[in-house]
Amino acid sequence: MTFKDFKLKDYIYKSLNDLSFTTPTKIQELIIPKVLKNQNVIGKSSTGTGKTHSFLIPIVQKLDENLNEVQSVIISPTRELALQLYNETMKLLKYVDGVDVRLYVGGSNRDAEIKRLESSQPQIVIGTIGKIKDLGVESNILKIHTCKTVVIDEADMVLESSELQEFDSLFGKFDSDVQILTFSATIPMDLVKFINKYLDKSELVDITSNEISKDSIEHVFIPTKNKSKPELLYNVLTSFNPYLALIFANTKDMVDQISEFLGEKGLPIVKLTGRLEARERKQVLKRIKDGKIQYVVASDIASRGIDIEGVSHIINYELPEDIEFYIHRSGRTARHLFTGTCISLYDFSDDRYINRLEEKGLKCVYKVLKDNELVVTRDRNFFSKKTKEVSQIEEDLHKKIPVPKKVKPGYKKKRNEMIKKQLTKMKRKKIDSLYHDRLHKK
């Protein structure tokens, strides 16, 4: 199949040619015809599969360029993603004049927006739910009741960052026959509730199957072996020359610590977290887009919803607690037809986590840093072999630190912390001896 099979408008084909789009991706092939037939669709796909154009192309195709009213509303979880959606929409409209597309996100000039809305309405609305609700429901100056198609992009994130009541008031403005398109990489319980309430006649298009990652991503795991983790990170980064490396940590504080350490080492670092003001985030993303940045230290805000082009390497300084976030992080590389590498620093305590990834079908490659080069090791078996011994150690510690008959409030938590602390020390000692034995055998 090619895009010619969709019988699109001539100006869309010109735009697609500029974007070098000739053959639709799997999700585009499945979803575009359904959207053109005005069907409600729930699209479930991982990052980098082309879902954005699976709804933008048919929205532009169905657009009545001469009808000056709101025809489509696209809801985004973040202002950065909303801006990306706006830019991609404008690329599709490059060869047609007069189409009114407006971006509504926080931090913009509200008075100017209201003044412009009083004189005319946009044809395509793109924005965050809070802003659209403000203008379309509370102020009632944005006339979204004429909308024919609503898109909820990254739906699990939208619901995560807002209350369902906001959807109740917003969707109350749309006609009952409005077309609703929902896209999400995962479908958590809150989204299921939303779907059951609003999208009972939607067709699920799921192309995630059982694949946890694309074949074009190499997943490399490097043991810390009780080394200084910041030093190991620096040595790994300087062992190759990434085009653009995204370094992930689990907290904003850790992002700050990593940035400070690498900055002192002389690496040109920028941070990308929720602490940045809108203007700062915009400036950082522009510098990244312009190719002026090589290393970005980020929290998980950057792993979802922000399409940063040219990411050659993902570095997990810390493995995220939720495996879904590992998938989203790694999906920031190998976009479109490119390949990429996801490198994770792991400790013995991450053994079960990696087991779960492998059980889900992830192909893990184990490497160590040797002479400033990443070298493949045989496997991770020496961690698995010590499982029974570690279990016995843990059982012994529980016997050694029993629960008294009369306990003070908070003692259980304190006891568990004591056991965990001692267990960690004993595990480290055991792993050290295993490494020592292996080195001497060589």
The answer to whether 3-206 and 217-381 have equal CATH topology is yes
The domain locations on the chain are 3-206, 217-381, 386-441
Q: 217-381 domain in CATH 3.40.50.11270?
A: no
Tokens of 131: 């802003």
| Residue 113: predicted pLDDT | 96
| Residue 125: predicted pLDDT | 98
Cα separation, 121 vs 357, whole angstroms:
49
| Residue 14: predicted pLDDT | 97
| Residue 111: predicted pLDDT | 94
Cα separation, 123 vs 60, whole angstroms:
10
Q: 3-206 domain in CATH 3.40.50.300?
A: yes
Give Cα separations from 360 to 27, 339, 364, 383 (angstroms): 22, 21, 11, 19
| Residue 283: predicted pLDDT | 85
| Residue 34: predicted pLDDT | 95
Mean pLDDT, consecutive 10-residue segments, the chain of 442 residues? 94 95 92 95 79 96 97 92 93 96 92 96 95 94 97 79 69 89 74 66 73 80 88 94 92 93 93 79 83 89 68 93 82 79 90 87 90 82 49 66 61 69 68 54 50
